[in-house]
Structure 1
Amino acid sequence: MTAELINLSAYCPGTVLDPVTRSPISAERLRDALPPSLAALELSSRPSVPIPGHLLDLFTGYRPTPLFEAEEFARALGTGCRIFVKDEGATPSSNHKANSAFWVAYHCAADGVAEITTETTGNWGIALAKAAAAFGIEVSCFIDQASVRARPDRVRLMTEAGARVEVVGPDEEGAGFDPLVLSANRAVSYTRRRPGARYIFGSVYNYFILPQTIVGIEAKQQLGRIRPDVVVGSCGGGANLLGIAAAFLVDKIEHGAPVDVVCAESELCPIVSKGRLGAYSIDDQDFYPRLRTYGLDRLLGDDVYIGGLGSTIVAAPVARFHADGLITTETFGDREARDAAELFATTQGRTVALETGYQLAAVAAEARRRSSGNILVNISSTGRGISYA
């Protein structure tokens, strides 16, 4: 297994901004919001970052995750393309968030953090609660009502993993109906009253993206001499997309490798295709650092569940690579995502979460427009308890 991760922030320096002045943030100012270890990672300009030994042992317990060829899915699509699937449903949390959760919990423990607070639509909270328990850290999760209605098991699973969970209503913080902003505001307010607590946003920032790059690094090793013509990831905050694509993006940037990287997004949150470049943060209290990246004013639907794709800001490398033409987008409706997920479940015997459905819809679109080639995608999470009706 790889002992180093890819630091994509090295390709877009100066994108972490002071929340008030909106100029590049100092390390001292960043430590006001982040634990010291995570603050240092956020500003690192090294192209690669080593995995600490204890974390390497933890990762080895469930990595590498499987990679398989989805032959029946390809056959049903009527394509000559080969479709390879990296299965991040095979982690302790049944989703790719486990990689970031162990990474965050390890560094918070090293910095003496007693309690981590966070917002979630469910998967991140489950992963963080399980990882933090391994380090004796308490976790408090804030989740929006739309996510609870769509996946009522999320609260139970977070609680069973040891988290304290609070459901945030749509009008409680005056932030319209952006569920992540509502949950983040409540988490920040709670954190400010709790000595020893640190708020950790579960997406977008470099400390979260870094450990996800292990997904694409492994996939590249597992594919051996096979090289993908297309790499597909979904994009809410960008961790899924950058995780599977990082190793191939670096090859494209540094060596001109001929690979297309496709971002699958929801038409209710077209963060990459319609986002505007600016200085954005997930909370509106000038607490967390801003990023120079793409953002949307709001979701294009009221109190709607779109899986893990509801972030109105995206990781800075996604914006930079899209602006440079290294990433293209495919935008789909809820029905298209559900249909693709249902076809995958029928042909491959695997039920996946809604965000993976958007990825599979992009895979289907790419496969139908190509007569041959290799497509790589990852299952970002399983869909236990999901109905595609």
Structure 2
Amino acid sequence: MQNILTKEINTTNLPDSNGRFGEFGGSYIPPQLQTVMDEVTKEYENIVQDPVFLEELSSLQRHYVGRPSPVYHAKRLSEAVGGAQIYLKREDLNHTGAHKINHCIGEVLLAKKMGKKKVIAETGAGQHGVALATAAALLGLECDIYMGEVDIKKEAPNVSRMKILGAQVIEVTRGTKTLKDAVDAAFEAYLEDPDTQIYCIGSVVGPHPFPMMVRDFQSVVGIEAKAQIQELAGRLPEAVVACVGGGSNAMGIFSAFLEDSEVTLYGVEPAGKGLDTPDHAATITKGSVGILHGFKSFLLQDESGEALPVYSIASGLDYPGVGPQHSYLKTIGRVNYDSATDHEAVEAFYGLSRMEGIIPALESSHAVAHAIKLAKTMKKDEIILVNLSGRGDKDIDYVLEHYPLVEYEPTGKGNGFEEFLSHIKKQ
């Protein structure tokens, strides 16, 4: 499989001093908040040069988070699908069950060194909220988590975890009652008191320096994965695949491969009930350039520039914007952005569970679904590396209630899952 790049790629030294990735990113916020952001930027740039901070972060990654997370060859899944070999970067094995803990530890360490008393954040699927509540408990800070009413009902186990960890979960009941509205509410709370608290954004979105900072803390995923796949397979993969909502897990793994032109990168957006319906959150695929939550990027918006309601089975992906670096990588042709429907994600959810004994998060299931489709078009000796960004504990009850397993059995309407089950029954 060839990677065809039609434009010269510039992925180094980004963002620039204004927080921009090409035309994307920047900081579109009130002057009061800009002063605070400038302070955060200065403190962040200082601490990443501080050997004491870096050693503390590294120690927590090793002894608390459980890094490095392994890369695993999904042999049975690869055999069942046919074509390329599928490898999984197991971020689901991190403490708290997802990649989110990577940047949360970093952000809370930064908050503590800045003398903040409280961290606040939004959450959709609850993984960022759990990770931030965990880091806050570890380092002794207060924690407020804003979460939409719809997501609170969908992700009840994570809500309970946040409360047990000592966080205050604040229900957001306006608008679509999902992730975008939770971000709005958290930003408003931050504006009320930017001095004693800090907003720990949960993805590579928001005003500068957050897209840069979250990417940098997540880059450990790509650094590890690149070394691990070379050790396991003796070379780089032909393809790297990750789901994209805001885009933190994808930027984390993509960052290590951006300069490797022989590696094709795939970002998988949520197609929901179909790209021909309004019920999706495929921002890059269907959106246009706009401004949301203090940064410029691709955005699903109406004619007046207001963010549209979005939908995904995966609460962590139903955001109408996307990280500015993803928008830049799309425009220069370095990353291919595709999508997977709810149905395809559920097939992958059940398929990976049955074939490998790994229950993935619904967010990660979008990446697995695309890898399954991609593998069938590739040679058997080629490699796909998937960032399995989270585990599916939080999604089990919701999936079984709304997408019962019987519908995905061989007598049902599943496309491709029949192959998995038939393969299992032959063993």
TM-score surpassing 0.5? yes
CA displacement at 1:319 relative to structure 2: 0.9
CA displacement at 1:365 relative to structure 2: 1.3
Relative distance call for 1:54 and 1:155 in structure 2 (3 A) is same
Structure label with greater radius of gyration: 2
CA displacement at 1:78 relative to structure 2: 2.2
CA displacement at 1:242 relative to structure 2: 1.0
The reply to whether residue 212 of structure 1 matches residue 218 of structure 2 is yes
- Listed as ranges, the matches of 1:206-355 within 5 Å are 206-224=212-230, 225-249=234-258, 251-252=259-260, 257-267=261-271, 268-278=280-290, 280-282=291-293, 290-297=294-301, 298=307, 301=310, 305-355=313-363
Q: Taking every aligned residue pair, what percent have the same amino acid on both sides?
A: 25
Q: Deviations over 1:245-302 (max 9, x none)?
A: 11111x23xxxx3111001111111112222223x233xxxxxxx2232222245656
Aligned to 2:139: 135
Aligned to 2:425: none
Aligned to 1:4: none
Report if aligned partners of 1:42, 1:206 keep a CA contact under 8 Å in 2.
no
Aligned to 2:198: 198
Distance 1:385 1:137 in 2: 25
CA displacement at 1:123 relative to structure 2: 0.6
Distance 2:98 2:373 in 1: 24
The reply to whether residue 17 of structure 1 matches residue 26 of structure 2 is yes
Distance 2:284 2:15 in 1: 16
Report if aligned partners of 1:73, 1:344 keep a CA contact under 8 Å in 2.
yes
Distance 1:43 1:269 in 2: 36
Q: Deviations over 1:57-79 (max 9, x none)?
A: 11121111111100011111122
Give structure 1 stretches of 5+ with no counterpart.
1-7, 283-289
Aligned to 2:407: none
Q: What TM-score comes out, normalization by structure 2 length?
A: 0.77
Relative distance call for 1:241 and 1:385 in structure 2 (3 A) is closer
Aligned residues: 355
Q: What TM-score comes out, normalization by structure 1 length?
A: 0.84
Given residue 326 of structure 1, which amino acid in structure 2 is its aligned partner?
R
Distance 1:311 1:178 in 2: 12
Given residue 186 of structure 1, which amino acid in structure 2 is its aligned partner?
A
CA displacement at 1:316 relative to structure 2: 1.6
Q: 1:159 aligns with which of 163, 172, 182?
A: 163
Secondary structure of 1:177's aligned partner: coil
Distance 2:315 2:130 in 1: 14
Secondary structure of 1:59's aligned partner: helix
Report if aligned partners of 1:168, 1:186 keep a CA contact under 8 Å in 2.
yes
CA displacement at 1:152 relative to structure 2: 1.1
The reply to whether residue 378 of structure 1 matches residue 387 of structure 2 is yes
Report if aligned partners of 1:147, 1:305 keep a CA contact under 8 Å in 2.
no
CA displacement at 1:305 relative to structure 2: 4.2
Aligned to 2:410: none
CA displacement at 1:189 relative to structure 2: 2.9
Aligned to 2:85: 82
CA displacement at 1:207 relative to structure 2: 1.5
Write 1 or 2 for the structure with the bigger share of helix.
2
Give structure 2 stretches of 5+ with no counterpart.
1-10, 205-210, 272-279, 302-306, 404-427
* Root-mean-square deviation (Å): 2.6
Relative distance call for 1:72 and 1:358 in structure 2 (3 A) is same
Secondary structure of 2:349's aligned partner: helix
CA displacement at 1:19 relative to structure 2: 1.9
Distance 1:291 1:9 in 2: 20
Aligned to 1:114: 117
Report if aligned partners of 1:271, 1:294 keep a CA contact under 8 Å in 2.
yes
Relative distance call for 1:38 and 1:383 in structure 2 (3 A) is farther
Aligned to 1:180: 179
Distance 1:108 1:164 in 2: 18
